[in-house]
Amino acid sequence: MADDLQPATPDELVDALAFALRFRGRKRVHNGDEIMAHIVAERLAEHLERAGFVVMRRPACEGAAALGRGPMKTGRLSA
């Protein structure tokens, strides 16, 4: 199973962190807004990269819906 892991891209990490900041499970948390969640997620991802962390992820299952991962985004906000 460990052989299936691959490095997560910065965009994937930002999307996952922003999703976690906006939702608890599948239920929306109303104490933060989407823009702030994305800004915080970007800053966390940048810090983790500078600190030398490598975040790994499993490849998506073929034919399975990407439930609980949030919306797919194509690019990052520039700082």
| pLDDT, tens digit, 9 for 90 and up, residues 47-71 | 988 888 888 888 877 665 555 555 5
29 within some domain: yes
pLDDT number for residue 63: 62
Angle formed by the axes of helices 34-50 and 10-22, nearest 10°: 140
| Structural domains counted in the chain | 1
What average pLDDT is seen over the chain? 75
Report the C-alpha dihedral over residues 46, 48, 50, 55, rounded to 10 degrees.
-100
73 within some domain: no
In this structure, are residues 49 and 9 in contact, taking their beta carbons and an 8 Å threshold? no
For residue 40, what are the domain limits? 2-57
66 within some domain: no
